[in-house]
A and B are shown apart, each in its own frame.
Chain A
Amino acid sequence: MTTEPAHAADPTPPVYTHRKPPLRETPDQLRARIPGWGADLDPADRPSYPREIDADTGAHWDLPERQPEHGARERSIEHMMLTPVFGTAQPLHGLSGAIRRYAYQRHSEGKAMHWLALLAADRVDVVENVARSIVTGHPDNPLTETGLTAELRHGRSRFGSGRSDLRHQAVDPVVNGAPWVAGALAAAWAVRRVARR
């Protein structure tokens, strides 16, 4: 005669008792099925335990030597100084650069205005560069730059897969196109206003 565990016939879900719901597999079964199961069971084997350690990094400096600064590098006003090393890609320029400098000089990272101004500058930057690309003879090509040609080669899997994002794709052209339409309308309005003077 086998003895069932006391809770086996109890229909009460374990969560209403002290018991933890039973697992479907034992540790031995898991070890046999999963390569490396339990290899890091001991937290001491986990490289990010504890969170803070006395790190040996290979640095042979306390404060790194300063990278030369060419021009005024923008920085967060929460920084006490320009960091010793920094990226030099795409320095500030034009109207987008002025907006970005305003965001960095006036608002801490804690303010929404800091981030909203940077996002606005990103859109201005796009318009500036579209115009520049036309002037410099290397115009943007929406067909190739959006990679839409991939649809021809790989597009079949988009359909019939039950993807939930297909639902909002109907509004995507509106959302993505609206800033361009708004920009064009604003430009037309400005031109008309100037022409009337």
Chain B
Amino acid sequence: MRAMVYRGPYRVRVEEKPDPRIEHPNDAVVRVARAAICGSDLHLYHGMMPDTRVGHTFGHEFIGVVEEVGSSVQNLQVGDKVMVPFNIFCGSCFFCARGLFSNCHNVNPNATAVGAIYGYSHTTGGYDGGQAEMVRVPFADVGPSVIPDWLDDEDALLMTDALATAYFGAQLAEIREGDTVAVLGAGPIGLYAARSAWLMGAGRVVVIDQLPERLEKARTFAHAETINYNEVPDVVLEMKLQTDGLGFDAVIDAVGAEADGNLVQHLTSARFKLQGGSPIALNWAIDGARKGGVISVMGAYGPMFSAVKFGDALNKGLTLRMNQCPVKRQWPRLLEHIQNGYFKPSDIVTHRIPLEHIAEAYHLFSSKLDGCIKPVIIPDAS
């Protein structure tokens, strides 16, 4: 099969690889119909995630058709069109039994601190991902779901991570009616999180970023106010001024490890890899929240330490909430919201790119060329 492979920091290509096969009785093999590049894939692409091996196929957002099932699979059949949550989870361990699917203990031998994720290095289990023609899907009876007939393919694709994660992030922000909510980052997660904050009853939603085209999208798609941090002298001060000196009731970090806005932080993390991630957005969240406020961290960070302003968080009595999203828990309610017209997930897709052009797709997205917000990869574009 043809598959994207990692060759080293900032270098990827398409190669011929052996087809995936059934390796466990509850495996399925899925022929990928659509995949996406996630902002967190860029952390791998930039060489930030430990144990990212040359030859690895990225991609944790994908949908496809079941090609083969293992001997114990009961809930899926060959030919089913499925959406696959980015979490690989067993459904029965201590954590899965409590709904913490993203923290499954039975799928990632490489680390206990993180569950397993498709195509996201060996730190998350060493599974090749979906930016390929085919992919191995473990625990076929637990993870994937058949895509409802009425649901558009790209809407289903975005349910597998971006939309679900953002919706989850808004929930972790513990928004109450009339709360002021700041969202740091106007990428896919930030845009969906802003939309989700309104569903929770936010009274104001302000999105903060530096890219004019993304801020425009925040105003039109997410109905939010915006701050371009390059156009204000001090973004934390601006957050206070915007809230009459109080600070925001809730702040959602939708940026993560490669945040810009502070040269030293960015260089020591994204470039020199001396931190697990650049905590610029997280520190702005801590300083821009009101005392007693809530911070929801949806941006991805690496497993190493980061220079977080923890003292401020302590002194302000903040609640910090975070996790990788347990995607499948979000689906029933999200499907209702899509049917009711509250979400049209694919509205943020800006580029559709054949798998064979994967290197250009990564560069385009990484460098944010051409107003790129969400690139979708088409394996069979030929």
A contacts, CB < 8 Å to B? 13-15, 20-21, 23-25, 27, 30, 33-41, 45-49, 51-55, 57-65, 67-68, 73-76, 78-79, 82-90, 96, 100, 104, 109, 112, 115-116, 118-119, 121-122, 125-126, 128-130, 133, 140-142, 144-151, 153-155, 157-158, 161-165, 167-168, 171-172, 175-176
Total interface residues on B, CB under 8 Å, equals 114
Between A and B, 17 residue pairs with Cβ closer than 8 Å are A20-B246, A35-B341, A38-B177, A38-B200, A40-B201, A48-B168, A54-B99, A57-B96, A59-B90, A85-B88, A88-B23, A88-B126, A90-B54, A145-B12, A161-B212, A168-B271, A175-B267
Contact A34 B223 (CB under 8 A): yes
Residues of A within 8 A of B359 (CB): 144-147, 149
Looking at the assembled complex, report how far the CB atom of A125 sits from the nearest CB atom of chain B, in whole angstroms.
Answer: 5
> What 0/1 readout, one digit per residue, does chain B (89-113) give for beta carbons within 8 Å of chain A?
1111000111111000111111111
Choose from B142, B260, B341, B362 the contact partner of A57 (Cβ within 8 Å).
B142
Contact A64 B92 (CB under 8 A): yes
Choose from B50, B126, B363 the contact partner of A151 (Cβ within 8 Å).
B363
> What does DSSP make chain A's interface, helix, strand, loop or mixed?
loop
Q: Knowing A52-B98, A121-B51, A150-B363 touch, does A30 contact B110 (C-beta < 8 A)?
A: no
Judge if B8 is at the interface, Cβ distance under 8 Å. Answer: yes
Q: Chain A interface: which of B60-68, B152-160, B364-372?
A: B364-372
Choose from A41, A53, A64, A104 the contact partner of B139 (Cβ within 8 Å).
A64
Q: Which residue of B lies closest to A56 (CB)?
A: B91
Looking at the assembled complex, report how far the CB atom of B332 sits from the nearest CB atom of chain A, in whole angstroms.
Answer: 7
Choose from A88, A104, A145, A157 the contact partner of B110 (Cβ within 8 Å).
A104
Contact A37 B201 (CB under 8 A): yes
Measured CA separation A88–B113 after assembly (Å): 20
Measured CA separation A27–B273 after assembly (Å): 46
Looking at the assembled complex, report how far the CB atom of A72 sits from the nearest CB atom of chain B, in whole angstroms.
Answer: 11
Judge if B147 is at the interface, Cβ distance under 8 Å. Answer: no
Measured CA separation A60–B70 after assembly (Å): 14
Contact A76 B244 (CB under 8 A): no
> What does DSSP make chain B's interface, helix, strand, loop or mixed?
loop
Judge if B9 is at the interface, Cβ distance under 8 Å. Answer: yes
Measured CA separation A190–B299 after assembly (Å): 43
Measured CA separation A129–B363 after assembly (Å): 21
Residues of B within 8 A of A62 (CB): 92
Q: Which residue of A lies closest to B303 (CB)?
A: A115
Measured CA separation A175–B302 after assembly (Å): 19
Residues of A within 8 A of B198 (CB): 30, 34, 36-38
Q: Which residue of A lies closest to B222 (CB)?
A: A34
Residues of A within 8 A of B24 (CB): 64-65, 67, 84-85
Residues of B within 8 A of A59 (CB): 90-92, 96, 139, 141-142
Contact B99 A53 (CB under 8 A): yes
Looking at the assembled complex, report how far the CB atom of A45 sits from the nearest CB atom of chain B, in whole angstroms.
Answer: 7
Contact B23 A118 (CB under 8 A): no
Choose from A58, A145, A164 the contact partner of B13 (Cβ within 8 Å).
A145
Contact B246 A140 (CB under 8 A): no
Residues of B within 8 A of A78 (CB): 111-112
Q: Chain A interface: which of B185-193, B203-211, B281-289, B307-315?
A: B203-211
Contact A55 B112 (CB under 8 A): no
Measured CA separation A7–B368 after assembly (Å): 47
Residues of B within 8 A of A86 (CB): 107-109, 125-126
Looking at the assembled complex, report how far the CB atom of B281 sits from the nearest CB atom of chain A, in whole angstroms.
Answer: 13
Judge if B161 is at the interface, Cβ distance under 8 Å. Answer: no
Residues of A within 8 A of B105 (CB): 83
Choose from B11, B90, B210 the contact partner of A164 (Cβ within 8 Å).
B210
Measured CA separation A191–B358 after assembly (Å): 38
Contact A27 B171 (CB under 8 A): no
Residues of A within 8 A of B53 (CB): 89-90, 96, 122, 125
Looking at the assembled complex, report how far the CB atom of A160 sits from the nearest CB atom of chain B, in whole angstroms.
Answer: 11
Looking at the assembled complex, report how far the CB atom of B256 sits from the nearest CB atom of chain A, in whole angstroms.
Answer: 15
Measured CA separation A118–B89 after assembly (Å): 24
Measured CA separation A136–B273 after assembly (Å): 31
